[in-house]
Amino acid sequence: MALDQNPGIAPYEAPEKELYEIGEMPPLGYVPPKMYAWAIRRDRHGEPDKSFQVEVVDTPAIDSHEVLVLVMAAGVNYNGIWAGLGIPVSPFDGHKAPYHIAGSDASGIVWAVGSAVKTWKVGDEVVIHCNQDDGDDEECNGGDPMFSPSQRIWGYETPDGSFAQFTRVQAQQLLERPRHLTWEESACYTLTLATAYRMLFGHHPHELKPGQNVLVWGASGGLGSFAIQLINTAGANAIGVISEESKRDFVMDLGAKGVINRKDFKCWGQLPKVNTPEYKEWFGEVRKFGKAIWDITGKGVNVDMVFEHPGEATFPVSTFVVKRGGMVVICAGTSGFNLTMDARYVWMHQKRIQGSHFAHLKQAAAANRLMVQRRIDPCMSEVFPWDEIPQAHLKMLRNEHKPGNMAVLVQAPRTGLRTFADVLDAGPVA
C-alpha cells in the first residue's frame, strides 16, 4: 500500500478511564475527562524550565465547528518561548484563561468532531495549521482572513495548544498529514512552512517569480530552511545568511545559490545616527556586505526581496540591500523589536516594507501540498521526549539548537513511527 493512502484504524481493545498516562491510547473516539498538559501560569512567567510544568487539566470540550485531536507529536517554535516568558505580552492578557498550553504545531488523529463538521471524521490523520478566526466578517468572506479582527494564533493567543494529550482546534485548521513522514516529522513544519509561503507568495505584486533573488536571514533555521526550499522550487535564487561556518553545507544542500556568513561583517544592530562617523563606518560595512551579495548575484544586481525575521539586528541592512522597488518582508523580531532604517533609501528608491503574519487556509494548504508531494523536506533536526519539552524550548531560546526544525513526542511512544498501528504496536495500550 502506498504511504500516502489511509487504510483507516483497525479495531483494538482499550478500557475507558478518567485519565491516561502519556503514550496510553484510549478507545478510538473516547474522550477522557482529564488529560496531562504542560501548562504555563501567569505567576510563573520566565524561562521554559520554570514556566512549563506538567499538570492534570480538563480535556477541552468542543463546539459545533471544532475538532478534538489526539496529539501524537508537536513542533517547537518561538510561540512557546514568548508564551512562557510573557514577553512581549502575556498570553493571559488576551485569552484570560487560568492556564496556558503552548504549542502551535502538531500531528495527530481526529478524536471527536463537532456537530457541524462535515469534512473530517474520527480516525483521520492530520496536521494542524495555527490560524483561527470567527469566520463571520468581510475579510473571512471574500477578503484575507489574516486581516480579520478575530484572527488569532492557536497555542499562543488561545489557551489550548499542542503540548497536551488532546488539543481543541477549528475544523478549518486541519490539513492532510503526509503519510510518508513520521509523526514527529509531520509535527515540526506547518507553522514555519506556511509562514514562509505567505512571505514569499502572499503579497501582491511582490509574489516571488522565477529568476528573482532573495536574501534569507537565518537560513539554517526553521523559517530559513523552508524559505530556501520554496525559493528553489519556484525557480528563483536564494542567498542564505548564516552565523556559523558549520551551517554552510546544510544551507547549500537545501538549494541555496550562495551563502554569506554575517560574522564577516560589522553592521548589525540599530542604525547609527545619520551623517556621524559611526554611520560612515557602518555604511562601509554594509557596502562590503552588499558586495558579498553581488559576488553571488552578479555585479550591480541587488536582491528583489529580503526574507526578514531577526528584526532589530538586521533590519537597517535589509532596507539598504534590497533593490529599487523591491520588498523587505518581515514576520518576527527574534533579535529585538525596535527597528531602525535610513528612510532616504526607502522613499527615494520606493522600497516596500511588508509585515507578514502566518498564513490563511488556502496558503497553508498550498504549502502543505508541497510537503505531501515530497517537493519539500521537513528538515527535522532534533526530537525530544515528552518529559523534555521545556528543555527543547530552552535550547531554542539560547540558540543552541541544530539547523532545521525541532519536534517533541506527545502520545507517540518513540520516534520513527508512521501509522497509528505502529503506535499501538510500540507503546502501551491502557
Q: Show the DSSP H helices in 8-72 as ranges.
A: 48-51
Residue 205: asked if its preceding bond is cis (omega within 30°), the reply is yes
- Per-residue model confidence (pLDDT) at position 2: 46
Q: How far apart are CA 152 and CA 12, in angstroms?
A: 37
Cα 313 → chain centroid: 21
What DSSP state is assigned to residue 368? H
Contact 114, 177 (CB under 8 A): no
What is the C-alpha to C-alpha distance for residues 388 and 411, in angstroms, rounded to an integer?
A: 14
Mean pLDDT of 28-36: 97
Q: Are 211 and 232 in contact (CB under 8 A)?
A: no
Q: For residues 165 and 410, is the Cβ–Cβ distance under 8 A?
A: yes
**Ordered alpha helix ranges (H), 330-383:** 343-347, 361-372
**Is residue 6 very low, low, confident or very high in pLDDT (cuts 50, 70, 90)?**
low
Average the pLDDT over 194-209 and give the result: 98
Over residues 398-427, the mean pLDDT reads 93
Residue 164 DSSP label: B
Strands 352-355 and 322-330 come out as: parallel
pLDDT at 427: 74
Task: Kindly state the greatest CA–CA separation across the chain.
Answer: 75
Tell me if the pTM is above 0.85. Answer: yes
What residue has cell string 558579498? 292
pLDDT of residue 8: 75
Q: Contact at 8 Å (CB) between 166 and 35?
A: yes
